[in-house]
Structure 1
Amino acid sequence: MTDHSLVELKLHKIQPERGPGYFKINNSILLDTQYQTQIKQEILNTVQNNKDANPNTLWEVIKGNIRNTTIRYTSFKQKETHKLETETIKSIETLEKQLHQTNTNDTTDIENEITLKKQILDGIYHTHLNGIILRARAQHVEHNERNTKYFANIEKRRSEQKTVHKLVVNGKDITNITQILEEQRLFFETLYKRKNVENNTLFKNTHHALKPRGKRTVRRIA
């Protein structure tokens, strides 16, 4: 066989399933007056509905309601932006067809309308790109850089790197994604599980807690 013979190699990459991840707020929403109004009203309603709660509990409830309101509002804004983008693209396509089909020489109005629609669409893309750059945590961005695919790939790689592909539990290697997720769930479920203990047992546990002791560890490999 000569060195010009072709060799075909197929690599099957198993893409692990990913959960919903963490909610990350875009700080620019804090300048939205409509969002500010909703948050202020939510705080007033929470305080009004929890008059008898102690300050610590009330504060935790307020934070939880602020988070829920923020998620709902950002989801609403995202849908509205996507709707505006779709409508703007359709309007540009309609205007461009109208521009090619017109028989008159005066097409200034149509051209101005197309320019205006493209400016709106450009603003949507610019906002979307800034969000991708922020999530990708790019340290160096050139002036007027608009390579959306580049930063999207950075964001995708960072998400893949955060995925746990191998877990060692009590000396046993686990590589199955479903088993890894189950072990993580059991670990934190046991860690934060509420237990009823006797007073003397609590005293003994507190006394023993002062002494060094071994711990069961779950170690992430990759």
Structure 2
Amino acid sequence: MSGKRKPNKGDKKSQRKKEAEPEMSTSEDELFDRSTRGVQNGADEPSNGQLMQKLNDMTSLINTVLTRLEKVEIEHKVLETRVTQLEASAENVEVSLEEIKTQQGTCAEKKDIENLERQLDDLANRSRRNNVVIWGIPENSEDSSDCRAFISSFLEKHMKIEDANKIEVERAHRSPMGKLAQAQALPDNPRPIHVKFLRYIDRERVLQGAPKILKKNNYKGKSIFITDDVTQRIRNDRKKLIVLRNKLRKENKFALIPWSVPAYIIPGIRTDHSAVVINVPLQKEPCRGPGHWKFNNSYLNEDEYVNEMNNNLATWLDDSSISDPQIKWEWIKFKVRDTTIKYAKKKGLYKKDKVKELNNKLNVLEQSLANNPSDNILEEIQIVKNDLEELDSKIIDGVIVRSRIRWAEKR
């Protein structure tokens, strides 16, 4: 017999059983498996020291787990607190949004109301554009005549306006008063007279001549003032402005434009509205030099300038008194500049005179149109406006060049 033992069937079955059994996980019950592995393998039981060490390890592990759990609980409470605060903040934001929407709606309504009030004021003032208010005429000055006839006589005899008989008064009346106001009325405070003229030009003539004519020309010992007829809101704004003006004048901070400052009305070019021109005398500024000169390229499109410059260049180039080319080049540039400046001054004076002439002609035509409307006058007005617009465009082009801007919108 050989020394080798033949495996029996029982050994084969046990080996197949071991191969079929799954391996045990060491991650979950690691301590327990280590403590029992020696007993299953037939080893000796662990000593008390080993058991105590294992118990200590398990205790420290449990303590670590408990510490982590406590931290997790604390963090959870902190998160709950933050979530609660965020929810409260979100509710406050929603409430604030609702309040803002409500305030916006209220502000929008207020703005709409203010805009409507301004529009109503504007309509009321426009409906009174032919009206004036005469202040200071004593009560019962009209005698038996009606107020219209009295105003016509006042303009002709007292104010002595030229061609006053051609001024047509459409309506005239004193400010209405209630019975209580009439009983409390004082002779030194007469009611103003509201006058509506048929034509706006007549109203302007009366307003423009009133300051000079009535300044030292009292009527029945009373000072007379004539103002435009505006709404109460505009009057209140003007009163506030007067108070502010007086306060600033005392502090030497502000000076309102007085009525003595010359002002005149010129017709509009691109609109049917007239423009008011006021020359304000400001403080004297220190004298300045000619400043930086820049060539106006638009002159190159004018035949008069080009011909004059060509003739002068031929003369300058033929001049043999200067032999040095560099000096001659600098001298020619100087002459070009000097000639251009003289030409620009001549053109500027011509434009100013031409604009003044056309504005005067347009004023006469508009007055003629108001007195005797006709298609021929309208055509002449349009021709004059076209000429003014062409001159205005040239003036604007010169301003653009002098300002040295890179881009300008053309209209």
TM bucket (normalised to shorter chain) is 0.5 to 0.7
Which position in structure 2 is the counterpart of 1:129? 396
Contact 1:96–1:114 under 8 Å retained in 2:
yes
What is the CA distance between 1:18 and its match in structure 2?
2.3
Contact 1:35–1:73 under 8 Å retained in 2:
yes
What is the CA distance between 1:45 and its match in structure 2?
0.9
| Aligned amino acid, residue 371 of structure 2 | Q
Question: What secondary structure, in the 3-state scheme, does the structure 1 residue paired with 2:369 have?
Answer: helix
Q: Encode CA deviations 1:101-146: one digit per residue, 9 max, x unaligned.
A: 22xx6x11111110010111122222223333443345665563xx
Contact 1:29–1:35 under 8 Å retained in 2:
yes
Question: What secondary structure, in the 3-state scheme, does the structure 1 residue paired with 2:288 have?
Answer: coil
2:297 is aligned with 1:27:
yes
Query: Gapped runs of 5+ residues in structure 1?
Result: 1-5, 145-222
Q: Using structure 1 for the length normalisation, give the TM-score.
A: 0.53
Q: Which has the higher relative contact order, 1 or 2, with Cα contacts under 8 A spaced 6 or more apart?
A: 1
User: Identity over aligned residues, as a percent?
Assistant: 27
- Show the 5 A alignment for 1:1-40: 8=248, 10-11=252-253, 15-40=285-310
Structure 1 residues 111 and 77, CA, compared in 2 at 3 Å: closer, same or farther? same
Root-mean-square deviation (CA, aligned residues, Å) is 2.8
Which position in structure 2 is the counterpart of 1:120? 387
For 1:52 and 1:75, the matched residues in 2 are separated by 29
What is the CA distance between 1:99 and its match in structure 2?
1.7
Which position in structure 2 is the counterpart of 1:69? 339
Query: Gapped runs of 5+ residues in structure 2?
Result: 1-243, 255-282
- Show the 5 A alignment for 1:1-222: 8=248, 10-11=252-253, 15-50=285-320, 53-102=323-372, 107-138=374-405, 141=408, 144=411
| Aligned amino acid, residue 130 of structure 1 | D
Structure 1 residues 11 and 78, CA, compared in 2 at 3 Å: closer, same or farther? same
Structure 1 residues 54 and 18, CA, compared in 2 at 3 Å: closer, same or farther? closer
Q: Encode CA deviations 1:122-175: one digit per residue, 9 max, x unaligned.
A: 22222223333443345665563xxxxxxxxxxxxxxxxxxxxxxxxxxxxxxx
Q: Encode CA deviations 1:1-55: one digit per residue, 9 max, x unaligned.
A: xxxxx98555599954422212222211111111111111111111223266232
What is the CA distance between 1:61 and its match in structure 2?
1.7
Structure 1 residues 17 and 54, CA, compared in 2 at 3 Å: closer, same or farther? closer
Contact 1:50–1:58 under 8 Å retained in 2:
no
Q: Which has the larger radius of gyration?
A: 2
